[in-house]
Structure 1
Amino acid sequence: MFPKRPLQVAILCAMTGLAVPHAHADAPKSAALYPVCDTPAVPIGKEDYQPSSLALHGLTALYINIDDVISSAKPKNVKLQKDLKEAVQQRLSAAGMRLLSKEEMETTAGQPEMSMFPSYPKHLGPFKPGEPRIEYNAACCTAGIWTSFSQGAMTLRDPLLHHKLATWGGGHNTTDCNNVGKWLSEVVLKTVDDFITAKQKADKDYQAWQKKQGQTPAKPKADTPPASADKPTKDVAPASTAKPVELRETNDAEALACDTAILLYAEIFPTAAVDISDAKGGILGKIADNMKACPQYRYRIETHADQRSSHEYNDVLSARRAVAIRNYLVDNGVDEEQFDLRFYGKRKPLVDGDNETAWAANRRVMITPIKPK
């Protein structure tokens, strides 16, 4: 499945930090240079492709189908390590990465996804009614697992054509079937450890690769969804401690000062939805205009949910809403470096209470101006 030599990829979207040329509709077909680059144009035929192994550089979060691995063992009566998922999360966290949910992965740049495919000895079943059982034979018993890591990519020659490329993988098998659960648990954790080692090597190799190209090594850009409250980030002093201005209608957003803290209520999203309401989208449009007029300020944008439903549901909901706000602001010309996003689910209620009034108050978006340096 994987070639012996590293797959050569031009540029992996949102992972390399390199400038990506943008196709121009009116560019001549016989052009000798790639059009519209942020760096000096690359002569066609002179591309310097980087190894795909460097695509792991800067990775801060990924999805692993660990729940599928755990559920696949149950009908086989294979007992995995009880805290297997927690152990995976701890390993990633220690390496500066976060385990994404499947929903978070689908809204994360590059959609970084690790898929594990275990195979079990046939004598474990399960067997359909009337199907003959397969007897255990120690001399002819195998178990295995294959792992593939993939992420979104774009090539230099056609940056508008997106791909899903496998950039890391590996497999393990055993003929000792005495304790398949113990073996499989150990291999899952070893695979995660091997991936972390490969990612750390990619970080170092990428710095060397940049120097070889005569570039100043750049600080990797985060590709995760907004940081959640479970993973604290360094706080910066707000530009103002005044009571935030509540915005409920587009007209409320007229003539905002750069240092104005803003409180939006979740009416900008339909109930339980992550798409911005057409009726309330104009409020965000005014906020985008205000940010562009205040380039000396940065803004922290927080999304919150009310107390109903589970933490997991509300985390996903507020994370996806944060991503929707980010996309809206960027599409309306706001520099992504001018703001950061955080989602808190229902962890930070504004008021106590189990009624419509309390729920409406806690279902909010907070925008805080950050004091300029």
Structure 2
Amino acid sequence: MLLKYPLAMLFSTLCISSVYANEVKPEPYPACPDTPVPVGKEDYQPSNLSLQGLTGLYINLDDVINSAKPKNVKLQADLKDAVVKRLEKAGMRLLSKEALEKTPGQPEMSMFPSYPKHLGPFKPGEPRIEYNAQCCTAGIWTSFTQGGSTLRHPLLNHKLATWGEGHNTTDCSDTGKWLSEVVLKTVDNFIAAKQKADKDYQEWQKKSAKTPAKPKADTPPASTDKPKKDTPPVSDKPATDTPPVASTDKPVELRETTDAEALACDTAILLYAEIFPTAAASISDTKGGILEKIADNMKACPQYRYRIETHADQRSSHEYNDVLSARRAVAIRNYLVDNGVDEEQFDLRFYGKRKPLVEGDNETAWAANRRVMITPIKPK
């Protein structure tokens, strides 16, 4: 028998793990914003899309294998290898516990087998339970969890169950064979659900791009070392035959508060990551004045929308830089909203280290590549 639970949890972005590659650790998560999205105004993506872009996961296969030994249940000898091959064929890898701790979202599949009572083990003096073919059950429940942040509090991170299923049987004639087959079947079903999410995500984006909606909480690119085509976030404006276009004027570089005086509405702005402490997504106290001036300018230009693009330098992994640039984009947006800018004026995009301006492995190249672009979207 197969049991599945409905995916009732809806969330929009994968979060970062508490441990990072290369021993780079961020500051503690900032507090939740003071102006949450009103109830009824949220725009979450369908929950089944939470599996989209997954490239690896941890499965507690060793626990399953070890649980069978004291009950003398013989599982398929190459069970773990068979799971690895299935995942690799689907473009995913089986993470170790150590790799899980350094993976954004910490995707984890936990399997909980239950065995027939007559298999024991029995404590000293405890009466044995005799095998009864008419009254014997075995089962296994599987739950997949990953980190997520809700739209209302995008910097408050949660661990959410986003997929799961259960199997049971009343045929205990060969529990080891049944359990091995069900483990592989569960992995196959998960892969099918992930592949469907990849396909549905593309359709959802196309549909969302044509539907007026509030801006959704932005999702960093999938955890992969291969650059992917960047797709625009959902627009909060109705689609038109002639959509607004971004300004192509050469950006004005801002490094100090005085550089932000009297900017024209259609001025593109280039900022550098000094507005953030190293490896952090909280606005630097010494550089916040620049964003305050930018906020004043945006409030004077309500007819414009602004695309905020965040980039990281080449150090650390794609996964780490993707998440860091995503958090920084959200932090800038929240800072500007807190200073009076309409939250509907923003279009957030984050590229990690995928679009370097300068090639090189030195301080000069790193400084040039860790940047923030704010581009005005010209009104129709």
| Equivalence for 2:367 | 360
Write the distance in 2 (CA, Å) between the matches of 1:86 and 1:316: 26
Report whether the alignment pairs 1:171 with 2:166. yes
Determine whether 1:78 maps to 2:80. Answer: yes
Matched residues in 1 for 2:164 and 2:278: separation? 41
Q: Distance in 1 between matches of 2:44 and 2:40?
A: 20
> How far does residue 326 in structure 1 lie from its aligned partner after superposition?
2.1
What CA distance in whole angstroms lies between the structure 1 residues aligned with 2:188 and 2:218? Answer: 22
Provide the residue aligned with 2:217 in structure 1.
223
Q: CA deviation at 1:342?
A: 1.3
* Mean Cα deviation higher: 302-311 or 225-234: 225-234
Name the structure 2 match of 1:30: none
| TM superposition shift of 1:233 | 1.9
Instruction: Indicate how the Cα distance of structure 1 residues 85 and 266 shifts in structure 2: closer, same or farther if over 3 A, else same.
Output: farther
Query: Is the CA contact 1:61–1:223 (under 8 Å) kept in the aligned structure 2?
Result: no
Distance verdict in 2 for CA 1:177–1:292, change over 3 Å = farther
Residue of structure 2 equivalent to 1:186: 185
2:288 alignment partner in structure 1: 281
CA distance in 2, matches of 1:73, 1:191: 19
User: 5+ unaligned residues in a row in structure 1: which ranges?
Assistant: 16-35, 40-53, 90-100, 106-112, 123-136, 155-162, 205-216
The match for 1:69 is: 59
Separation in structure 2 between the aligned mates of residue 8 and residue 233 of structure 1, nearest angstrom: 26
Deviations along 1:318-370, one digit per CA (max 9) or x if unpaired, are 12212211222222232232111111111111112221111111111111112
Within 5 Å, give how 1:154-169 maps onto structure 2: none
How far, CA to CA, are the matches of 1:69 and 1:342 in structure 2? 32
Aligned with residue 258 of structure 2, among 238, 251, 256: 251
Q: Is the 8 A contact 2:329 2:349 kept in 1?
A: yes
1:263-342 matches, cutoff 5 A:
263-342=270-349
Sequence identity (%)? 56
Amino acid of the residue matched to residue 58 of structure 2? D
Letter in structure 1 aligned against 2:90: A
Report what 2:35 is aligned to: none
TM-score by length of 1: 0.57
User: What's the offset of the Cα at 1:166?
Assistant: 7.2
The separation in 2 between residues aligned to 1:254 and 1:302, in whole angstroms, is 21
Shift in Å, 1:117: 2.3
Structure possessing the higher relative contact order (Cα contacts under 8 Å, 6 or more residues apart)? 2
Q: 2:230 aligns to what? A: 232
Q: 1:3-82, aligned counterparts within 5 Å?
A: 57=46, 61=50, 67-69=57-59, 78-79=80-81, 80-82=83-85
Normalising by structure 2, we get a TM-score of: 0.56
1:170-223 CA-partner distances (Å, limit 9, x unpaired):
4234675338666424313425656969xx8xx99xxxxxxxxxxxx9747533
1:119 corresponds to which letter in structure 2?
F
Structure 2: 5+ residue runs without aligned partners? 14-37, 67-78, 93-100, 116-130, 152-157, 205-210, 234-242
- The residue type equivalent to 1:146 in the other structure is T
Tell me whether 1:87 sits opposite 2:83 in the alignment. Answer: no
Q: Mean alpha-carbon deviation: is it higher for 240-249 or for 323-332?
A: 323-332
Deviates more, 1:290-299 or 1:230-239: 230-239
- Contact 2:306-2:375 at 8 Å conserved across structures: yes
Give the length in aligned residue pairs.
Answer: 280
Contact 2:50 2:162 (C-alpha < 8 Å) held by counterparts: no
CA distance change for structure 1 residues 226 and 283 in 2, over 3 Å: closer, same or farther? farther
1:111-134 deviation per Cα after TM superposition (whole angstroms, max 9, x unaligned) = xx9864203588xxxxxxxxxxxx
Instruction: Tell me which moved more, 58-67 or 278-287.
Output: 58-67
Shift of 1:268: 0.4
Work out whether residues 141 and 167 of structure 2, in 8 Å CA contact, stay in contact via their aligned partners in 1: yes
Q: Is the 8 A contact 2:86 2:188 kept in 1?
A: no
Query: 2:85 corresponds to which letter in structure 1?
Result: K
- Cα distance change on mapping 1:345 and 1:7 into 2, 3 Å: closer
Residue 280 of structure 1 deviates from its aligned partner by 0.5
Retained in 2: the 8 A contact 1:121–1:143?
yes
Deviation of the 1:78 alpha carbon: 2.4
Could you say what the CA RMSD is over the residues aligned between the two structures, in angstroms? 5.1
Q: Distance in 1 between matches of 2:212 and 2:245?
A: 27
